[in-house]
Amino acid sequence: MRATLYGLTLACLLVQGLPQPARAALGGSTATVDTDRVVMKGLTRPVPTGTLQKQELQLPSGTVVTEYTNSTGAIYAVTWHGPTLPNLHQLLGTYFTSYQTAAKSPVIRHRVVRMNTADIVIESTGKMRAFVGRAWIPNLLPSGVTAADIQ
């Protein structure tokens, strides 16, 4: 009995250590906004909507994350700014590997990550206590929305 209990405990620990699928935000649906809030322990803040549909999360660190959604409910862009980087794996979802690839590129001076492909655009920069970034999927941008609108 005791050996079975230990075996079950060990199996549970091993499963938890396996890579889990990203709870995708970028490219996901509006349902993932609440998942992001829970996982990152953030508070939602009201955002004047105007023409852009977006949701802001205030993280415990003081960092603010904004997720932009289009009329079909797909998250087409995310931005962040604050004293710490948010959980980019959570925010970028399946695009996180693209971020990692871009982050390995050599840079001059400041730590800047830039990637501009047909599938994804990522811009991130910062230093301690001042991180800023944004990422968007060009094919999901709503009609009339440009990169300049994603701030």
Average pLDDT over residues 91-107: 86
Q: Is 96 domain-assigned?
A: yes
Q: How confident is the model at residue 9 (pLDDT cuts 50, 70, 90)?
A: very low
Domain that holds residue 66: 22-143
Q: What is the pLDDT of residue 110?
A: 62
Q: Is 73 domain-assigned?
A: yes
Q: Is 7 domain-assigned?
A: no
Q: Is 54 domain-assigned?
A: yes
Q: Is 15 domain-assigned?
A: no
Q: Is 47 domain-assigned?
A: yes
How much is the pTM? 0.74
pLDDT in tens, 68-96: 988 888 899 999 999 999 989 988 999 99
Torsion of CA 86, 90, 94, 98, to 10 degrees: 20
SS (H, E, C) the chain: CHHHHHHHHHHHHHHHHCCCCCCCCCCCECHHHHHHHHHCCCEEECCCCCCCEEEEEECCCCCEEEEEECCCCEEEEEEEEECCCCCHHHHHHHHHHHHHHHHCCCCCCCCEEEEECCCCEEEEEEECCEEEEEEECHHHCCCCCCHHHCC
Q: Is 71 domain-assigned?
A: yes
Q: How many domains does one find in the chain?
A: 1
Q: Is 148 domain-assigned?
A: no
pLDDT in tens, 11-34: 333 333 333 333 347 888 776 666
